[in-house]
Amino acid sequence: MAMKRALTSAVKTISSSSRYPFLSRTIHGSSDSKKIVGIFYKANEYASMNPDFVGCVEGSLGIRDWLESKGHEYIVTDDKDGPDSELEMHIPDLHVLITTPFHPAYVTAERIKRAKNLQLLLTAGIGSDHIDLNAAAAAGLTVAEVTGSNVVSVAEDELMRILILVRNFVPGYQQVINGDWNVAGIAYRAYDLEGKTIGTVGAGRIGKLLLQRLKPFNCNLLYHDRIRMDPLLESQTGANYEEDLVKMLGKCDVVVINTPLTDKTKGMFNKELIAKMKKGVLIVNNARGAIMDTQAVVDGCSSGHIGGYSGDVWYPQPAPKDHPWRYMPNQAMTPHISGTTIDAQLRYAAGTKDMLDKYFKGEEFPPQNYIVKEGELAPQYR
Percent of the chain that is helix, strand, coil (3-state, to 5)? 40, 15, 45
Rounded Cα–Cα distance for residues 127 and 260 (Å): 7
Q: 361-368, long-range: CB within 8 Å, 24+ apart, which pairs?
A: 361/2, 361/3, 361/31, 362/2, 362/3, 362/6, 362/7, 362/28, 362/29, 362/30, 363/2, 363/6, 363/28, 364/2, 364/6, 365/142, 365/144, 366/147, 368/147, 368/148
Task: Give the residue numbers marked as catalytic.
Answer: 150, 288, 317, 336
The 3-state DSSP class for residue 36 equals strand
Q: Which residues pair with 143 in a beta bridge?
A: 121, 372
Query: How many angstroms separate the most distant Cα atoms in the chain?
Result: 72
The DSSP output letter for 292 is B
